[in-house]
Amino acid sequence: MNDALQNQKLKLSCGTASFGNLYREIDPLSVNSVLDGAWNLGYRYFDTAPYYGFGLSERRVGDFLRTKNPDDYILSTKVGRVLHPDSSYHQARESFINALPFRPEYDYSYDGIMKSFEHSLQRLGLEKIDILYMHDIGRVTHGDNHKQQMKIAMSGGYKALDELRSANLVKCIGLGVNEYEVCEEAMEYGNWDCFLLAGRYTLLEQESIKTFIPKCKERGSKIVVGGVFNSGILATGTVKGAKYNYEDAPKEILERVNKIEGICKQYNITLRQAAIQFPMLQKNVSSILVGSAKLKHFESPLEDIKIKIPSEFWETLVKNKLLKEECLTD
């Protein structure tokens, strides 16, 4: 069931939101150059979504992967939004510059999931999608509408995903979200192969180790971890203007990171190395998602995961109450 996520080559995966012109426009030749470079570095798992550039990322990723043997890579995309032809302004255009002329609308229904899957295949121009994630379900995204959206998603939406898996049209199904709580909630409704969880299992955030990660182990669900740097600070350190979850890092986070950096220096490792290796202490974390429009940001993680970090380093973090002790048990 989880064969698509077993390969050791998938420890690092390529996130492609940037190729949907996230925050800045990137030309097609540059996209292809970065994807080609990532491939040559050994990246074999690529993640995209209809939302990224309103179809632009999927088209670009599909154009690149069409030149490769389908057996040589793993591809995931997402459902939960359907794109409608519409070139007019909507708020999401603030994030995706010169995106395609579509308007995304949430649709977690059976028909919405099936339509989104079919549209993704057409945009990608590929014969397969390996992993299909239900995208951005949860209270942070939907607020007071969460209960209603969750009811739709866990009835009709899950039924569609399960049918696609049973028909072998996808190998794995899961959630692609920023909240581990909604993953736990979804576990009560069905059998999920994997979860793409962004920013919620890092050196700064470990609440998910209490119940979510143990439940995944019990059920055999794999975890793909995104946002290991919490949008910046765990890569840059406590520099001026350091970002934490896309905002200026508050004082308590700066102080915490400063303490972690101090312990990193004691063991002659970098904050980046610790941040990217930390989730891998859990065996059911199958991949770390790396996303960027620059090839160098795909190169450095390959070196970071090779560095040997002694167990004493993690134990020192626990001793200084910078890491939950449960994180060291698997």
Q: Which residue has the tokens 């949430």?
A: 106
User: pLDDT at position 65, please?
Assistant: 98
Q: Given this model, what pLDDT does residue 5 score? A: 65
Give pLDDT, residue 4.
Answer: 64
Chain-centre distance for alpha carbon 249 = 21
CB of 143 closer than 8 Å to CB of 165: no
- Strand partners for 132: 77, 173
CA dihedral (286, 292, 294, 296) in degrees, to 10, reads: -40
- Rounded CA-CA distance 131/3 in Å is 11
1 pLDDT above the threshold of 50? no
Would you list the domain boundaries of the chain?
A: 3-328
> Among 252, 180, 230, 234, which residue's Cα sits nearest to residue 209?
180
pLDDT at 329: 84
The string of pLDDT tens digits covering residues 69-90 is 999 999 999 999 999 999 999 9
Please give the share of the chain, as a percent, with pLDDT higher than 70: 97
137-163 confidence digits (pLDDT tens)? 999 999 999 999 999 999 999 999 999
pLDDT at 9: 58
Give the active site residues. Answer: 47, 52, 78
Show the 3-state SS of the chain. CCHHHCCHHHCEEEECHHHHCECCCCCHHHHHHHHHHHHHHCCCEEECCCCCCCCHHHHHHHHHHCCCCHHHCEEEEEECEEEEECCCCCHHHHCECCCCCEEEEECCCHHHHHHHHHHHHHHHCCCCCCEEEEECCCHHHHHHHHHHHHHHHHHHHHHHHHHHHHCCCCCEEEEEECCHHHHHHHHCCCCCCEEEEECCCCCCCCHHHCCHHHHHHHHCCEEEEECCCHHHHHHHCCCCCCEECCEECCHHHHHHHHHHHHHHHHCCCCHHHHHHHHHHHCCCEEEEEEECCCCHHHHHHHHHCCCCCCHHHHHHHHHCCCCCHHHHCC
Q: What is the band of 316 on the pLDDT scale with cuts at 50, 70, 90?
A: very high
Q: Please tell me the distance from the alpha carbon of residue 169 to that of residue 269, in angstroms, as a whole number.
A: 43
Average pLDDT, the chain: 95
Q: Judge whether residue 203 has pLDDT over 90.
A: yes
Residue range 221-259, pLDDT digits in tens: 999 999 999 989 999 999 999 999 989 999 999 999 999
Per-residue pLDDT tens digits for 57-72 = 999 999 999 999 999 9
pLDDT of 7 higher than 70: no
Contact 175, 182 (CB under 8 A): yes
90-133 residue pLDDT tens: 999 999 999 999 999 999 999 999 999 999 999 999 999 999 99
Contacts 24+ apart (CB under 8 A), 121-124: 123/50, 123/55, 123/58, 123/59, 123/62, 124/48, 124/58, 124/59, 124/61, 124/62, 124/65, 124/75, 124/77
Task: Give 167 or 6, the one with higher predicted confidence.
Answer: 167
* Share of residues in the chain with pLDDT > 90 (%): 95
Query: Can you name the CATH fold of 3-328?
Result: TIM Barrel (3.20.20)
Decide if 98 contacts 141 (C-beta within 8 A): no
